[in-house]
Amino acid sequence: MKLPPQQVAVLEAASADEPRRIADLAAAIERPPETVTGAAFELEDAGLVDVIEETEEEVELTEEGREYAEAGLPEVRLYEAALDAGADDEPVSMGEVIGTSGLEGPQVDIALSNYARKGYGSIDSGDLSADPDADPSEDAEVVALETLAAGGTVEDDDALDQLARRDLVAVRERTVRSVLLTEAGVTELMAGVEAAEEVGQLTPDMLASGEWRDAEFADYNVEADAGEYTPGKTHVLRQASERVKEVLVGMGFQEMEGPHVDADFYINDCLFMPQDHPARNHWDRFALEQPEKIDELPEDLVERVERAHREGVGPDGDGYHSPWDEDFARALALRGHTTSLTARYLSGVAGEDVEAPARYFSVEKAYRNDTLDATHLLEFFQIEGWVMAEDLSVRDLMGTFQEFYSQFGITDIEFKPTYNPYTEPSFELFGRHPETGELIEIGNSGIFRPEMLEPLGVEADVMAWGLALERLLMLVTGFEDIRDVHGTLCDLEFLRDAEVVY
């Protein structure tokens, strides 16, 4: 019988007694594994071979694991530095040993937390002693790490578990295929198999010469393994932001634009935030040194906002009785929320003539001088939005969130009353993290107070919110640390593989 050359090669290299792995066959016949896999599936379809599939665990060093395989585990480096300092004789100051060990940053903690656990010595009130009998070359983790780095396999499951717990190795599952000749395959081989000319790719030459008319084309094999590619692509957060914009545009919203650096007037004063509010003076804020102040503020708007702060709004209104200074309002800062855009649009300074009914949004960065942790960064993307209409109620607000979040598969939003100087009533939104099961705050919202709206010249009701894009993405993808998606510690594997839900 006639078969394409690669199938002939696989058939001839395969055995009827013992399954041969694709990788072995590929090496034996000097063809790429993808070609061999493709040929094996074709032969299987023709009944000439069986393709046997097994899953195999593959243990790989992580980047950190590779680093330690080269430089030594931090606790071993600490032990060696301790020996050099004579800590096997008498205790030496921990600071001194750490200094000479060359360990830096998080590695110091890693070294200290594993040092005693693994019997390298003890740590007592700032002094370190070293056990002279400890032997790094017998340390099961060291042995396993070195074996893996040299491409070997490790049988010691405890050591592997420990390395996995320390994120020094990652275990992946992969499918391993082997090929076994069937009886029909053996029969055909004995009868004689010949290589037929088969064309894998159509070329311009073949088209020009007309050769294509007589050519035998190889079938497409949609089951063959493809190589792994990690091309550049849109960042997951950017993809999420695009998706949020699409959803909001679909819900009838228009996009707002405005400056990242803005006058406190739009960031705070227009929101009826008193000038002596702690967030306006201290921790929360990134002030600008150069230029320090905005050049111009609309005089009449300033006057109305100042009056609301001093006297309140309406017959029963009452102001803050606290100082109000235009100069203070002119100070420039990185916006701590994108509600500054809302203030610009509602007041008309953005140049847009907004009248009820209207819906606006932005998905833009906000900046806060927060303490970094798993849910806080110095900057994040805020999903700002507002709806202007007659007679809005809390049900409208909740219904809008339900509709919005349900587009991302999130249907169990919870609400908690809160306080904002500019909204009444006000609600925080919470969602359940799919991995940790914890309720995490995902946004803040409310119905703007007359003290805010009247000076801006708005007569209808306005409900509004600021939601965190990163938190929404956490609920959707299950990642746990905001630093996985932003900045230098980001999780490249997650960024490559994360699916964006549509």
Contacting positions for ligand PHE (CB under 6 A):
337, 339, 420, 423, 444-446, 464-466
For the CB of residue 423, give the shortest distance to ligand PHE in the complex, in Å. Answer: 5
Backbone φ and ψ for 440, nearest 5 degrees, come out as -120, 145
- For ligand PHE, the closer of residues 121 and 258 by Cβ is 258
For the CB of residue 339, give the shortest distance to ligand PHE in the complex, in Å. Answer: 4
What is the rounded distance in angstroms from the CA atom of residue 414 to the CA atom of residue 412? Answer: 6
For the CB of residue 452, give the shortest distance to ligand PHE in the complex, in Å. Answer: 9
- For ligand PHE, the closer of residues 20 and 280 by Cβ is 280
Which residue lies nearest ligand PHE, judged by its C-beta? Answer: 466
According to DSSP, residue 373 is labeled B
For residue 361, list its beta bridge partners.
255, 385
What is the rounded distance in angstroms from the CA atom of residue 368 to the CA atom of residue 284? Answer: 6
Half-sphere exposure for 238 (CA within 13 Å, toward CB): 4
- For ligand PHE, the closer of residues 120 and 360 by Cβ is 360
- For ligand PHE, the closer of residues 91 and 446 by Cβ is 446
What is the rounded distance in angstroms from the CA atom of residue 4 to the CA atom of residue 26? Answer: 16
- For ligand PHE, the closer of residues 465 and 479 by Cβ is 465
Helices (H), 299-436: 299-311, 326-329, 339-347, 394-406
Q: Could you tell me whether strands 254-255 and 169-181 are parallel, antiparallel, or unpaired per DSSP bridges?
A: unpaired
For the CB of residue 222, give the shortest distance to ligand PHE in the complex, in Å. Answer: 49
Phi-psi label, residue 194: left if phi above 0, alpha if psi -120 to 50, beta otherwise: beta
What is the rounded distance in angstroms from the CA atom of residue 466 to the CA atom of residue 364? Answer: 11
Please give the structure tokens belonging to residue 99. 């200094």
For the CB of residue 420, give the shortest distance to ligand PHE in the complex, in Å. Answer: 5
- For ligand PHE, the closer of residues 166 and 337 by Cβ is 337
- For ligand PHE, the closer of residues 114 and 445 by Cβ is 445
To which H or E segment does residue 254 belong?
strand 254-255
For the CB of residue 271, give the shortest distance to ligand PHE in the complex, in Å. Answer: 8
For residue 363, list its beta bridge partners.
383
- Strand ranges for 376-496 from DSSP E: 379-389, 414-420, 423-432, 439-448, 461-468
For the CB of residue 465, give the shortest distance to ligand PHE in the complex, in Å. Answer: 5
- For ligand PHE, the closer of residues 398 and 490 by Cβ is 398
For the CB of residue 336, give the shortest distance to ligand PHE in the complex, in Å. Answer: 7
